[in-house]
Every structure is written in structure tokens, then in C-alpha cells.
Amino acid sequence: MKKEIEEEVGVALEGVVTEARGASYLVSASDGKNYRCRTIAGTQTENIDASLVSVGDRVRFKESGESGEAHPQGVITHVGKRFSSLERKRDVRRNRSKEKKQVIASNIELLVIVVAAFEPPLSTRLIDRYLVFAESENLPVVIVVNKMDLDDDDEIPALMAPYTLLGYTVILVSVRQKRGLEELDQLLSGKVSAMSGHSGVGKSSIINVLTGQKRMKTARTSYKNGKGVHTTSNAVMLPLISGGYLIDTPGIREFSLSGISREQLRFYFREFLQFMPECSYSSCSHTVEPGCRVRGAVEEGLVDPDRYESYLVLYDGLESEQ
Ligand SMILES: Nc1nc2c(ncn2[C@@H]2O[C@H](COP(=O)(O)OP(=O)(O)OP(=O)(O)O)[C@@H](O)[C@H]2O)c(=O)[nH]1
Ligand SMILES: [Zn+2]
């Protein structure tokens, strides 16, 4: 079968999948062209029990010679090993069978969390939730606070200071005032990043600046109305002016913490780690146990009380392993 493919089609090419639409994939190839590719029964993969192809995948393919489309056509012969993947979280109760992991995007190097200073108001609870997700996926993360022009009382820098102290990169941005965008651009340059954030925080506005393109807002709007789902539920990888790619997908925006247990949560608050070994109980949940060093650290001002409050809120919302 494999031999047959090799004989039928042209030279082997390599590329990155930048768009997935049904069974059709747009591949940005090393020869500088874009190819519209499909898979075949003989397509090989190094990723077991997961979607065959996703945006961000590095693939080998061959030109198939079919014409009549906007792009030259190709056949994907091999999907490279993913070093990271974002999966669509499913309802555990409805997924008892051994279903394949649904991969939204692969090989992401950086997660960009976007929040707004105002409109909608900044919620540290939400930021902590995003950070837990990023830590659980082992993804480097940057927090972008957009709409800084609306921070009239200059409250945001103080609110964000604890995150900088924890080692997270925080970039204060205003698309309106063209502030902070160069710093963000430099950080994303040459990398594959995925952007996430609630509706209205200014993701499209930021993407437009960094890609130099006008990204259509209509697709997202219609998503909310339940229309045009096929265009919005797919990830798209947009080339950045300064090199690298930004992955934009509603699937990542609405990610959930459903795969995380109460027992795992404590490891995703990085400031707890140094205190946890000193808790009286080795399995301490840092909620009610006597002799809890994490709570001690909160009382002594060594751990930010607002971050600890986020831990309690998230803990309440998660299920126990037992
Ligand atoms: N004041 C202010 N408004 C901004 C800024 N950036 C974007 N906006 C406005 O915020 C609104 C939402 O911006 P979008 O870029 O569409 O936000 P989005 O995150 O892509 O929203 P969805 O498409 O719903 O996910 C628009 O009216 C923008 O003009 C900014 O820096 N300052
Ligand atoms: Zn404890």
C-alpha cells in the first residue's frame, strides 16, 4: 500500500497543518506554498489513540496532482510526534468507551491568556483558573491584560504584581493606545502560541495587529447564535508578521478543568510547592487540616490570600479521586 502511494504521487514534502476543515487540511509547506491535503488509509502517525491530524501537526505529504482548486492538492503520508497537544475535554460520564483523544491543536509552545482591565472587569479568579489549566498542561504561559486605557484609577498594576512575583510574564496592553504590543510581539516571535480569553477582551483586535490581517469577527458572532459552528469550532493557525504562528480557536477559549482532580489541584499553585512538604499530613488538602503549613503561609503573608481563595473556590468545584 505504502509503495503504491509513493509511486502514484510526486516528491515528498514537509509542512505544518495550519487549518483543519472536516477531512481537508491546509498545509503550509517548506517550499513556501500552501497545499490542500487529505489523509488516506495508509497515512501513518506517531500519535496513538488520538485524532489523526490537527492544526499544528508537522506532516510529510506528497503532491497528488489533482487540480481545479485554489491550492495545489496533496496527500498526507506521515504525521509527526506531537510534543504537546490541547484536547477537547469531554463529559466523562458520556465517554466510557475508549474513544480517541480529540486534539484541537498540537505542538503549542506558549499559551497566551487575554483578559481586559475593564469591559469586562478583570477577575483574578478567572486568571487563576487559566493558570491552573496552563500548569496542568505544562504549558508556558503569558498573561495579557488588554484595555489598559480604561484603567483610570491605576488599579491594574497592583492587582497583577503577585503574578509577576510568582514568575509569570504579565504584559499590559492597550490596542487602542498601541501600548505593550511590541513587547507581546517579541515574545511570540518565532513560536507557535495559542490564544485564549473571554469574549470581548480584545483578542481579535490583538490578532489583527500581530498578523497584519483583518480577522473576521462574524464567525465568532455567529457561533454564539448557534450558526456557522463549522467555521468557528476549528482551530486556525495565523502567521505572525514577526514569524511564528498564533492559534485562534474557540475550543481552547472555553477549556475546562474537568480532567483535574482535587488531589492534583495543589500542584498547580506553584507558590504552595515549597510549603507543602511541611504540612502535618502528607495528603494535606490545605483546606481544614491542623498543622497545614500552606495556610500558615497565607496567614504570615507569604502566600497571597486572594490566590489561596482561588484555590478554595476551584477545589470546591472539582471532584475527588476517591
Ligand atoms: N478601550 C479599549 N477597547 C478595546 C481595546 N481593544 C479592543 N477593544 C474593543 O473591545 C471590543 C471587543 O474587542 P474584540 O477584539 O472583538 O474582542 P474579542 O476578544 O475578539 O471578542 P470575541 O470575538 O467576542 O471573542 C471591541 O469593541 C474593541 O474595539 C483596547 O485596548 N481598549
Ligand atoms: Zn497543608
CATH, residue 72: 2.40.50.140
Q: How far apart are CA 237 and CA 247, in angstroms?
A: 4
99 within some domain: no
Q: Which of 161, 166, 138 is nearest to 270 (CA)?
A: 166
| The ligand 1 atom nearest the CA atom of 205 | 15
Report angle CA 80, 136, 302 to the nearest 5 degrees.
145
Phi-psi region of 148 (alpha: psi -120 to 50; beta: other; left: phi over 0): alpha
How far apart are the two ends of the chain, measured CA to CA in Å?
48
Check if the beta carbon of residue 313 is closer than 8 Å to that of residue 295.
no
Q: Which of 141, 157, 129 is nearest to 309 (CA)?
A: 129
Q: Are 80 and 127 part of one and the same domain?
A: no
The reply to whether omega before 120 is within 30° of 0 (cis) is yes
- To 10 degrees, the CA torsion angle through 201, 202, 207, 212? -170
> Of all protein residues, whose CA lies closest to atom 10 belonging to ligand 1?
202
Residue type, 248: D
Q: Are 176 and 215 part of one and the same domain?
A: yes
Whole-number pLDDT of residue 140 = 95
Ligand nearest to the CA of 254: 1
Q: At what angle do helices 124-136 and 156-165 cross, to 10 degrees?
A: 20
Q: Are 301 and 241 part of one and the same domain?
A: no
200 is in an annotated binding site: yes
Whole-number pLDDT of residue 225 = 42
97 within some domain: no
Q: Are 246 and 121 part of one and the same domain?
A: yes
> Of all protein residues, whose CA lies closest to atom 4 belonging to ligand 1?
147
Eight-class DSSP state of 179: B
Task: Please name the residue that has the C-alpha cell 504521487.
Answer: 9
Q: Are 114 and 248 part of one and the same domain?
A: yes
Q: Are 134 and 236 part of one and the same domain?
A: yes
Q: How far apart are CA 100 and CA 303, in angstroms?
A: 40
Q: Are 74 and 194 part of one and the same domain?
A: no
Strands 73-79 and 34-45: parallel
Q: What is the pLDDT along the chain (322 residues), one digit of tens a residue?
A: 444 444 455 789 999 999 998 889 999 999 999 999 999 999 999 999 899 999 999 999 999 877 667 899 999 999 999 998 888 766 555 555 566 788 888 999 999 999 999 999 999 999 999 999 999 989 999 999 999 999 999 999 999 999 999 999 999 999 999 999 999 999 999 999 999 888 899 999 999 999 998 765 544 443 344 433 334 457 789 999 999 999 987 655 556 787 899 999 999 999 999 999 999 999 999 999 999 999 999 999 999 999 999 999 999 999 998 7
Substitution candidate for ligand 1 out of 148, 152, 205, 221 with most atoms within 8 A of CB = 205
Q: Which of 72, 79, 81 is nearest to 10 (CA)?
A: 72
Whole-number pLDDT of residue 258 = 78
Q: Residues near ligand 1 with C-beta < 6 Å?
A: 146-147, 149-150, 174-176, 197, 199-205, 217, 220
Domain closes at, from 23, 50, 85: 85
> Of all protein residues, whose CA lies closest to atom 25 belonging to ligand 1?
199
Q: At what angle do helices 124-136 and 305-317 cross, to 10 degrees?
A: 70
| The ligand 1 atom nearest the CA atom of 250 | 25
Q: Are 124 and 230 part of one and the same domain?
A: yes
Whole-number pLDDT of residue 9 = 53
Total number of domains constituting the chain: 3
Residue 290 CA, ligand 2 centroid: distance in Å: 8
Q: How far apart are CA 313 and CA 6, in angstroms?
A: 56
Which CATH number belongs to the domain containing residue 267 in this structure?
Answer: 1.10.40.50
Q: Are 126 and 218 part of one and the same domain?
A: yes
b (16+ CB within 10 A) / e for 178-192 = eebbeebbebbeebb
Which CATH number belongs to the domain containing residue 184 in this structure?
Answer: 3.40.50.300
User: Could you tell me the three cell numbers for 263?
Assistant: 488531589
102 within some domain: no
101 within some domain: no
Sign, CA torsion 213/141/248/171: negative
90 within some domain: no
Q: Are 271 and 237 part of one and the same domain?
A: no
Q: Are 126 and 245 part of one and the same domain?
A: yes
* Domain extent for 152: 108-253
133 within some domain: yes
Domain closes at, from 85, 117, 145: 85
Q: Which of 137, 248, 117 is nearest to 127 (CA)?
A: 117
- DSSP string across 116-155: ESTTTTP-HHHHHHHHHHHHHTT--EEEEEE-GGG-TT--
Check if the beta carbon of residue 235 is closer than 8 Å to that of residue 20.
yes
91 within some domain: no
Domain closes at, from 226, 253, 280: 253
Q: How far apart are CA 61 and CA 74, in angstroms?
A: 6
Q: Are 80 and 172 part of one and the same domain?
A: no
Whole-number pLDDT of residue 21 = 87
Residue 92 CA, ligand 2 centroid: distance in Å: 29
| The ligand 1 atom nearest the CA atom of 197 | 19
Check if the beta carbon of residue 101 is closer than 8 Å to that of residue 87.
yes
Whole-number pLDDT of residue 89 = 67
92 within some domain: no
